[in-house]
Amino acid sequence: MEKSITISGMTVITVDENRKVKNIQFLPDDELAPIMEVSSHTYGSLQQLRNGAYDYVACKSTRRAHSTLLRKAAHGRISATRDGAYQLTLKVFKREGLDVKETLTREAFDLIDNVDF
């Protein structure tokens, strides 16, 4: 059940020299105003509108793999993911001047051969 409560007061916003918000504090006019626990574990954007009201928009959460490292190599890793899969990640920079095909093949086989599935 959703319920709206109106509390009048003043908002104090602390910003740094780059105008980045460091803290937001609400000071109610009435010391006996209802105490609310406002908690969010969701990333989002809070903006103050021209009329002084606040608007909060939650960002869509992205589900992360939460993988468990099984074995690491010089240019990558093999992991077990939370959704019951295996993930092989390899990355070779061009500036390393390596034979990319040989490096990726060697490390992929090394990782696969040395992991207990």
Rounded Cα–Cα distance for residues 55 and 48 (Å): 6
- pLDDT score recorded for residue 95: 94
The pLDDT score that the predictor gives to residue 69 is 94
Amino acid 36: pLDDT: 64
pLDDT of residue 85: 92
Structure-block tokens of residue 105: 């093949």
How far is 94 from 60, CA to CA, in rounded Å? Answer: 35
Percent of the chain residues past pLDDT 90, beyond the cut = 38
Whole-number Å distance between alpha carbons of 111 and 71: 7
- What is the pTM (predicted TM-score) of this model? 0.46
Mean pLDDT of 99-115: 95
30: which strand partners? none
Condensed to tens digits (0 to 9), the pLDDT of residues 4-50 reads: 777 888 888 888 898 887 887 878 888 777 666 666 667 777 777 78
Q: For strand 54-58 and strand 44-48, is the pairing parallel, antiparallel, or unpaired?
A: antiparallel
| Token reading at 106 | 């060697």
Distance separating alpha carbons of residues 45 and 59, to the nearest angstrom? 7
Task: Report the percentage of the chain scoring pLDDT > 70.
Answer: 88
